[in-house]
A = this chain, B = another copy of it.
Amino acid sequence: MQAIQINASRSFSLAELPIPSLTEPYDILVRVRGIALNPGETKIFQSAPAGTILGFDASGVVEAVGPQAEALGFKKGDAVFSAGAIGRAGSNAQYQLVDARLAGKKPESLSWEDAAALPLVSLTAWEMFEEKFRLKPFTDNSNEVLLIVNGAGGVGTLAIALAKAVFGITRIIATASRPHTIEWVKKYGATDVLNHREPLGPQLEALGVSSKVTLAFITHDTPHYTKELLAHMRYQGQIGCIVETGNEIVPLHDPIAFYKSLSFHWELEAGKALYGYDLESQGRILTHISRLADEGTLGGSPVTVRKELSVANLTEMHKVQASGKSYGKIVFTVPETIQ
């Protein structure tokens, strides 16, 4: 098969490799048809060893099925989608091995690349709401005041859509700064939009929700926004973050955090596969996502850039993604022959 690898000079190269064989009883072999690019990949690209095949999100057709995957109901010919796993060969290739517990049936109404846009971002947002904030899906949570920082990013977009469609939140405040991203977050269901290029405090005051934010979903610059939002959280408010901070300090030691009995959550959906924790839950969530996408209740495709997978296009889109100026999702069709 063809795959795009990171090479020793830290750029992408095309490689011809054997089609992988099933290695684990839960494995399915997927002929990859669509993939999406995620911001985390541009960081991994900086440090991953030569030979690494990057790529998490994928959609495709099942070509071979391990015995435990078969017991879960997967069979040759199924159209599936998945967010992949850290430590396994990625989706920037024609074939990929995927743990079937981490996969769902692809939404029938979506193209391969539109389907590939969903797994990583929707799992991240869903797990934050259900497993970290502990909201019950498909219930009324109209008592919550949700603030999503960087609402037009991939996770931000799905967070808005799921907050509205699944988690019954009626007050969804999203940040965005450009006319087209402001329109974007409103389209997905944001009820109020703040400009994250200006201090958020006065804007929250103008909305009458300063000190009343119950849930802050931070998808950009964790230390800065965590610090800025402390004063605006309600007693027992929850701050959820998805971007690790390196040596920058998250101000958990701030007295305001203590006095308000705040909670801080990290969410990394890839951790479930990494630590072997309740893998089946991701299949269950993707089954919901597939149905919601087919029902049209997720606000439409979050895809903003569509490309054909090639070394040149992947290289260019990594740069675009790393610039922080993209919004929504960048996706690729995987062609019969990768250039």
Residues of A within 8 A of B (CB): 127, 131-132, 134, 223, 234-236, 244-250, 252-253, 255, 257-268, 271-272, 274-275, 277
Contacts and interface: CB of A to CB of B under 8 A. Distances in A.
Nearest to A250: B252
Contacts of A261: 127, 132, 265-268, 271
Contacts of A131: 236
B223 A272 contact: no
A267 B235 CA distance: 10
Residue of A235, A252, A261, A266 with most partner-chain B CB within 10 A: A261
Q: Among the interface residues A235, A249, A258, A268, which one has the most CB atoms of the partner chain B within 10 A?
A: A258
Given A131-B236, A235-B277, A271 B245 contact: no
A88 to B, nearest CB: 16
A274 B235 CA distance: 9
Contacts of A127: 261
Contacts of A244: 253, 255, 258
Contact of A262 (B235, B247, B266): B266
Query: Is chain A's interface secondary structure helix, strand, loop, or mixed overall?
Result: mixed
Given A257-B266, A264-B265, 4 more contacts: A134-B134, A234-B275, A259-B268, A260-B271
A236 B276 CA distance: 12
Nearest to A223: B253
A149 B99 CA distance: 38
Nearest to A256: B266
Contacts of A246: 253
Contact of A253 (B247, B259, B267, B271): B247
Nearest to A241: B258
Nearest to A242: B258
Given A258-B244, A259-B274, A271-B259, A252 B264 contact: yes
Contacts of A236: 131, 271, 277
A133 to B, nearest CB: 10
B259 A248 contact: no
A177 to B, nearest CB: 26
Given A261-B266, A263-B263, A235 B271 contact: yes
Contact of A263 (B132, B235, B249, B253): B132
A260 B266 contact: yes
Contacts of A249: 249, 252-253
21 contacts: A234-B275, A234-B277, A235-B272, A235-B274, A235-B277, A236-B271, A236-B277, A244-B255, A245-B258, A246-B253, A248-B253, A249-B249, A250-B252, A250-B253, A257-B266, A259-B271, A260-B268, A260-B275, A261-B265, A263-B265, A263-B266
A137 to B, nearest CB: 15
A164 to B, nearest CB: 23
A262 B223 CA distance: 16
B263 A264 contact: yes
A236 B253 CA distance: 21
